[in-house]
């Protein structure tokens, strides 16, 4: 039976369908038009979200991926569109988010001639992708797409860029699709070494003061249940990194809070008191460790990771347990003896109390007329029954979101951790809502950050995406202002902002909203906001000079926690 030939663009669509793609975020243009033409016939199989800027497409795909665990898919044209996706690709790389980005490219015969809208996309993206590949003929499409999804998803996930020349989109080919299951040069998940499993178990079994650090690797490995089983069996208190947030419920008695620069007091102090530090799917980022020379020197370090390049990168491990977290955690747990560390666990309490008295109490329930960020976040969390997805932008709003939002289920925190990309929030929230349509998605963003991708309100308008946008308006680039106050003699160099009427802007896009500046108005507006599933923009005028505390200054010892 002879197969009838199809175009490269149709092949791309069929390959997407074969990979189970349901949603595509994109923006058309000259060098990708044949693909868009093919997409026209597939609109009943795949939903295409037309964003307003290509950066928005990538961040939306990231938000979608973070809440669903699926690979985000982006299609854009060549040249400026390809360079517009760079920020999101770099963000997905450092935060291990699986994504396949297809960029149009000029016809192969024009490559390297400085043709109209030609950029060296593979050259630019090599350092910020897991894999970046130029497809020059239609025949390569099924192979390259299958590989792209396999690479993006397997092992430690990350972004893949396919640079698709226009001729490849048009040429005819015989379509035959086989998903990729093996690449000779790529071992996504290292095999488990039983010796390291028993070494880790032995260390934990003899620990008097064990402490677990929970990273995103737990979520990416779907190992939330295994994690809890391990922590509960051996009674190990745990703290999370920014991206590990929501891997375990906030109110679990062994959940002691966040690590790092704006983490919880006790978690940072105890890092340098524990006897066995169990790092799970985290990479000892400098925002978590602060000064390495004095970090957890007293402890034996166990490092669970899927990526061997993370072992001994920043902190030397005494035992490295390589493999998929779901399997490695379970394997170690099997060899653990039930244990109790009551005194050690309750030793976190006195720090929690100090932090509560000196920082949290006033932050969530201010005694002054000004609204505070922590107050807004905890009220919104409360109003959603702690069941919502929390998306943040970057800055004070992000750290406050991480500190004060509460979680009862996994994959509920979407934030730009490694790259700290302002402008991430709004498009990521759109992607998150599309990925989890039956959940409430709350975005907390600053007055600065929302203006970096505010055009995505147009995407919300067009697709009617019920995102709850909370603009924490302090009329400052707040986090930078905080540093200026603390470390630059209060010299507020270019950090105050004259802002538009955000509610009016939202209104122009057909989005309901309110601007509030008293505690009472805030309560009413939150109630109104969560009363239905429509998009909503809540602008909250908050105190202009709020501070995120506690804070460990950059480069200080992790125990150098400033409460004021």
Partner 1 sequence: MEKTLYTVIVFSENRPGLLNQVSIIFSRRQLNIESLTVSASSIEGVHKFTITVYTDEEEIDKVVKQIEKRIDVLKAYYYTDDEVIYQEVALYKVDTESILESDEIEQLVRKYNARFLEITRTFSVIEMTGHTDEIKELYYALDKFGVKQYVRSGRIAITKSTSELLSKFLSEREEEAKG
Interaction between residue 184 and partner 1 (CB under 8 A): yes
Q: Which residue of the set 13, 93, 99, 479 is catalytic?
A: 479
Interaction between residue 480 and ligand TPP (CB under 6 A): yes
Number of other CB atoms surrounding residue 337 within 10 Å: 10
Residues 6+ positions from 110 with CB-CB distance below 8 Å: 118
Question: What 3 state SS string does 126-187 have?
Answer: HHHCCEEEEECCHHHHHHHHHHHHHHHHCCCCCEEEEEEEHHHHHCEECCCCCCCCCECCEC
Please identify, using beta-carbon distances, which residue of 88 and 435 lies nearer to ligand TPP. 88
Number of other CB atoms surrounding residue 106 within 10 Å: 22
CA angle 470, 473, 475 (to 5 degrees): 160
**Long-range contacts made by residues 458-463, C-beta under 8 angstroms, separation at least 24?**
458/52, 458/509, 459/49, 459/50, 459/51, 459/52, 459/56, 459/60, 459/427, 459/430, 460/430, 460/509, 460/511, 460/535, 461/509, 461/510, 461/511, 462/50, 463/49, 463/430, 463/434
Phi, psi of 191 (to 5 degrees): -65, 150
End-to-end CA distance of the chain: 77
As to burial, measured by CB atoms within 10 angstroms (0-12 exposed, 13-18 middle, 19+ buried), residue 2 is exposed
C-alpha to C-alpha distance for 450 and 353, rounded to whole angstroms? 34
Please identify, using beta-carbon distances, which residue of 305 and 456 lies nearer to partner 1. 305
C-alpha to C-alpha distance for 85 and 81, rounded to whole angstroms? 7
Q: How far is the CB of 227 from Mg ion (least distance, A)?
A: 35
Q: Give, as ranges, the residues between 242 and 271 that touch Mg ion (CB under 5 A).
A: none
Concerning whether 479 is annotated as a catalytic residue, the answer is yes
Number of other CB atoms surrounding residue 509 within 10 Å: 18
Interaction between residue 308 and partner 1 (CB under 8 A): yes
Interaction between residue 109 and partner 1 (CB under 8 A): no
**Stretch of residues binding ligand TPP (CB under 6 A), selected from 108-116, 475-483, 528-536, 553-561:** 475-483
Concerning whether 116 is annotated as a catalytic residue, the answer is yes
Phi, psi of 382 (to 5 degrees): -60, -50
Please identify, using beta-carbon distances, which residue of 290 and 474 lies nearer to ligand TPP. 474
From Mg ion, ligand TPP, partner 1, none, interface partner of 422 (C-beta below 5 to 8 A by class): ligand TPP
Please identify, using beta-carbon distances, which residue of 215 and 478 lies nearer to Mg ion. 478
Q: Give, as ranges, the residues between 399 and 438 that touch ligand TPP (CB under 6 A).
A: 420-423
Q: Which residue of the set 42, 117, 273, 362 is catalytic?
A: 117
Helix, strand, coil percentages (3-state) for the chain, rounded to 5, are: 40, 20, 40
Alpha helices in 405-501 (DSSP H): 425-435, 457-463, 478-487
Q: How far is the CB of 394 from ligand TPP (least distance, A)?
A: 5
Please identify which residue in 56, 63, 79, 395 interacts with ligand TPP, judged by CB under 6 A: 395
Please identify which residue in 28, 159, 244, 478 interacts with ligand TPP, judged by CB under 6 A: 478
Please identify which residue in 307, 327, 375, 447 interacts with partner 1, judged by CB under 8 A: 307
Interaction between residue 474 and Mg ion (CB under 5 A): yes
Please identify, using beta-carbon distances, which residue of 327 and 393 lies nearer to ligand TPP. 393
Interaction between residue 88 and ligand TPP (CB under 6 A): no
Concerning whether 54 is annotated as a catalytic residue, the answer is yes
Taken in order 307, 308, 312, 314, the sign of the CA dihedral is negative
From partner 1, Mg ion, ligand TPP, none, interface partner of 449 (C-beta below 5 to 8 A by class): ligand TPP
Please identify, using beta-carbon distances, which residue of 130 and 303 lies nearer to partner 1. 130
C-alpha to C-alpha distance for 86 and 107, rounded to whole angstroms? 22
**Stretch of residues binding partner 1 (CB under 8 A), selected from 127-135, 221-229, 260-268, 531-539:** 127-135
Q: Which residue of the set 5, 45, 116, 208 is catalytic?
A: 116
**Stretch of residues binding partner 1 (CB under 8 A), selected from 130-138, 361-369, 467-475, 479-487:** 130-138
Please identify which residue in 226, 447, 456, 539 interacts with Mg ion, judged by CB under 5 A: 447
Interaction between residue 137 and partner 1 (CB under 8 A): no
**Stretch of residues binding Mg ion (CB under 5 A), selected from 11-19, 60-68, 154-162, 438-446:** 438-446
Interaction between residue 504 and partner 1 (CB under 8 A): no
Q: Where are the beta strands (DSSP E) in 366-506?
A: 389-392, 413-414, 441-446, 467-473
Q: Which residue of the set 13, 16, 25, 54 is catalytic?
A: 54
518: left (phi over 0), alpha (psi -120 to 50) or beta: beta
Q: In the numeric block, which tokens belong to residue 362?
A: 């006033």
Concerning whether 117 is annotated as a catalytic residue, the answer is yes
**Stretch of residues binding Mg ion (CB under 5 A), selected from 33-41, 85-93, 119-127, 468-476:** 468-476
Helix 194-205 with 325-334: angle, nearest 10 deg: 60
**Stretch of residues binding ligand TPP (CB under 6 A), selected from 132-140, 347-355, 447-455, 503-511:** 447-455
Interaction between residue 448 and ligand TPP (CB under 6 A): yes
Interaction between residue 122 and partner 1 (CB under 8 A): yes
Query: Which residue has the closest beta carbon to ligand TPP?
Result: 446
| DSSP assignment letter at 311 | T
Interaction between residue 182 and partner 1 (CB under 8 A): yes
Please identify, using beta-carbon distances, which residue of 417 and 446 lies nearer to Mg ion. 446
Please identify, using beta-carbon distances, which residue of 86 and 238 lies nearer to ligand TPP. 86
Interaction between residue 478 and Mg ion (CB under 5 A): yes
**To which H or E segment does residue 260 belong?**
none
β-pairing, 238-240 with 210-214? parallel
CA distances from residue 37 to 29, 173, 177 in whole angstroms, order as listed: 11, 17, 21
Which positions touch partner 1 (CB under 8 A)? 122-123, 126-127, 130-132, 151, 182-186, 307-309, 312-313
Which positions touch ligand TPP (CB under 6 A)? 393-397, 420-423, 446-449, 472, 474, 476-480
Q: Which residues are catalytic?
A: 54, 116-117, 166, 479
Which positions touch Mg ion (CB under 5 A)? 446-448, 474, 476, 478
């Amino acid at each position: 039976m002879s197969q009838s030939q199809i175009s490269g663009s149709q092949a791309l669509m069929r390959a997407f369908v074969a990979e189970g793609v349901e949603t595509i975020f994109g923006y058309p243009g000259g060098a990708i038009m044949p693909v868009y033409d093919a997409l026209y016939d597939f609109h009943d199989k795949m939903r295409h979200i037309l964003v307003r800027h290509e950066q928005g497409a990538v961040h939306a795909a990231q938000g979608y991926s973070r809440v669903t665990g699926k690979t985000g898919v982006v299609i854009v044209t060549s040249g400026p569109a390809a360079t517009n996706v760079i920020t999101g690709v770099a963000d997905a790389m450092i935060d291990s988010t699986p994504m396949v980005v297809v960029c149009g490219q000029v016809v192969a015969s024009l490559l390297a001639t400085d043709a109209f809208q030609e950029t060296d996309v593979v050259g630019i993206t090599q350092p910020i992708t897991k894999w970046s590949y130029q497809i020059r003929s239609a025949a390569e499409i099924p192979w390259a797409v299958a590989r792209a999804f396999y690479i993006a998803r397997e092992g430690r996930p990350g972004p893949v860029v396919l640079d698709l020349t226009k001729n490849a989109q048009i040429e005819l080919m015989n379509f035959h699709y086989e998903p990729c299951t093996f690449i000779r040069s790529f071992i996504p998940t290292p095999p488990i070494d039983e010796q390291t499993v028993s070494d880790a178990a032995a260390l934990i079994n003899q620990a008097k003061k064990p402490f677990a650090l929970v990273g995103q690797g737990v979520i990416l490995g779907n190992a939330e249940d295994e994690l809890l089983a391990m922590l509960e069996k051996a009674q190990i208190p745990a703290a999370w990194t920014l991206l590990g947030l929501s891997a375990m419920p906030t109110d679990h008695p062994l959940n002691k809070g966040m690590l790092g620069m704006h983490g919880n007091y006790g978690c940072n102090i105890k890092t340098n008191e524990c006897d066995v530090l169990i790092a799970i799917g985290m990479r000892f980022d400098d925002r978590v460790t602060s000064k390495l020379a004095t970090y957890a020197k007293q402890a034996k370090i166990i490092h669970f990771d899927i990526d061997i390049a993370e072992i001994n990168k920043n902190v030397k491990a005494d035992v490295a347990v390589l493999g998929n977290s779901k399997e490695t955690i379970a394997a170690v747990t099997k060899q653990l003896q039930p244990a109790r560390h009551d005194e050690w666990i309750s030793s976190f309490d006195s720090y929690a109390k100090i932090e509560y008295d000196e920082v949290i109490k006033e932050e969530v329930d201010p005694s002054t007329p000004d609204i505070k960020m922590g107050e807004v976040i905890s009220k919104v969390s409360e109003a959603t029954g702690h069941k919502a997805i929390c998306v943040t932008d970057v800055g004070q709003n992000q750290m406050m979101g991480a500190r004060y939002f509460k979680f009862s289920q996994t994959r509920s925190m979407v934030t730009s951790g490694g790259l700290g990309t302002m402008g991430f929030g709004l498009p990521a929230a759109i992607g998150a809502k599309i990925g989890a349509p039956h959940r409430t998605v709350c975005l907390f963003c600053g007055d600065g950050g929302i203006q970096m991708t505010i055009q995505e309100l147009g995407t919300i308008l067009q697709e009617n995406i019920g995102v709850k946008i909370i603009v924490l308006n302090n009329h400052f680039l707040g986090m930078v202002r905080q540093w200026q106050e603390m470390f630059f003699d209060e010299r507020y160099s270019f950090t105050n902002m004259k802002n538009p009427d955000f509610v009016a802007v939202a209104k122009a896009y057909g989005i309901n909203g309110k601007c509030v500046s008293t505690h009472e108005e805030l309560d009413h507006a939150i109630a109104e906001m969560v009363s239905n599933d429509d998009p909503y923009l809540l602008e909250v005028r908050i105190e202009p000079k709020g501070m995120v505390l506690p804070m460990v200054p950059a480069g200080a010892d992790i125990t150098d926690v400033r409460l004021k």
